[in-house]
A = this chain, B = another copy of it.
Amino acid sequence: MTALQQHDGLVVDGLQINNWDRGLLEQLRTGGIDAVNATCAVWEGPEETLRAVGAWCQLAAQNPDLVVLADGVDEIRRARETGRVAVLLGFQNTSPFGDDYRMVEVFRRLGVQIAQLTYNIQNLVGGACYDPDDSGLTRFGRHVVSEMNRVGMMIDLSHVGNRTCRDGIDASAVPVSITHSNPTWFFDTPRNKPAEVICALADRGGVIGCCLYPNVLGGEHTTREQFCTMIARLVDEIGPDHVAVGSDCTQNWSESFVAWLRNGRWQPPEANPTPPTWPAWPQWFTGPADFPVLADGLDQAGLDEKTVRGVLGENWMRLFAEVLVPEVPR
């Protein structure tokens, strides 16, 4: 019996962006994952995203023994009770909302639980981590945040610019998330977050999901001990309730998908000085099925059982319980 199975909390992965099929859903069960934020839009606009949600509905209908598209914590718990994985549909961009704040409620009604404000480049909502200048949250962005609060959709700041992160934390009436980033003190890249952003997030009750994607982890040679020690230090810095995991697993894709993530439709492939390729993952964590090794690693990093439970899922559940709740219609 692994440490993961022993600790008896719900196991939640803050983000995966796989090319989903039955095999992957089985990997989640192998990994003991009870719920996952599954990205269903990155650059897609409203209509394209409707089709992506439709594809998820179909996959769930075809695999009712394995998966439930869950809305809120009660449905996540019910999924676990029936031995199924709860998938929380999520966006890594606000592009599915187009220029229309009303699309927030439309997609929430379709089951979308989480949306990241920007993905890599500036959009109508705010600035992003890979653009040189960050204008902060725009006026439209404030309407989007306010609608997300109202309809109970969790705000994610992972690929968001630091100034827009600060604005988003301040503008939101409820705590927000960074589903899949690490501190820059662990590995310095625009995709990771400086201490001031992480502290502001935690001060307001938010959660950061520490991330195993090699490009934000520091490469394939980063050890499990280094990763788990980072989590332990972060627990010391911001408290045990605000640290979690967002693996950013990217299973089952060809190379063309990483080019889509990097270039979208906004730059010609030839403008990208480094042709996109998938990075190699550390041998100790290559996909969702390896989730149990984290429990062992966190134990070895000296975290107590309650903290390990929080990091592996209960902290996400506490945040979900607080934010995935629609307000009474205004």
Q: Chain A residues in contact with chain B, CB under 8 A?
A: 43, 45, 47, 95, 98-102, 121-124, 127, 131, 133-136, 138-140, 143, 264-268, 271
Report the Cα distance A43→B101, complex, angstroms: 13
Considering residues A45, A98, A102, A139, which has the most beta carbons from chain B within 10 angstroms of its beta carbon? A139
Contact A98 B45 (CB under 8 A): yes
Provide a sorted-by-A list of 30 A–B residue pairs whose CB atoms are within 8 angstroms. A45-B45, A45-B98, A47-B47, A98-B265, A99-B264, A100-B265, A100-B266, A101-B266, A102-B265, A121-B138, A121-B139, A121-B140, A122-B122, A122-B135, A122-B140, A123-B124, A124-B266, A127-B135, A131-B135, A131-B138, A131-B139, A133-B135, A133-B136, A134-B135, A135-B135, A139-B266, A140-B267, A143-B266, A143-B267, A143-B268
Extra pairs beyond A47-B47, A135-B135 (15, CB < 8 Å): A45-B99, A98-B265, A100-B265, A100-B266, A101-B266, A101-B267, A102-B265, A121-B124, A121-B138, A122-B124, A122-B140, A133-B136, A139-B267, A140-B267, A143-B266
* A187 to B99 Cα, complex, angstroms: 30
Contact B124–A138 (Cβ < 8 Å): no
A99 CA to B95 CA, complexed, in Å: 9
Q: How far is the CA of A197 from the CA of B271 in the complex (A)?
A: 29
Interface of A is mostly: loop
Closest CB in chain B relative to A282 CB, distance in Å: 31
Residue contact A101 to B139, C-beta cutoff 8 Å: no
A101 CB contacts on chain B under 8 angstroms: 265-268
CA distance A45 to B264 in the complex (A): 17
Identity of the chain B residue whose Cβ is nearest the Cβ of A137 in the assembled complex = B133
Which chain B positions have C-beta within 8 A of A124?
121-124, 266
Assembled-state Cα–Cα distance A270/B265 (Å) = 34
Report the bound CA distance from A117 to B173 in whole Å.
Answer: 33
* CB-CB nearest in chain B for A95: B99
A242 to B124, CA, bound (A): 32
A134 and B127 alpha carbons, distance in the complex (Å): 11
Task: State A45–B47 Cα separation when bound (angstroms).
Answer: 12
Residues of B within 8 A of A138 (CB): 121-122, 131
**A93 to chain B: closest residue by CB:** B99
Min CB–CB distance A246 → chain B (angstroms): 25
Q: Which residues of B contact A267 (CB under 8 A)?
A: 101, 139-140, 143
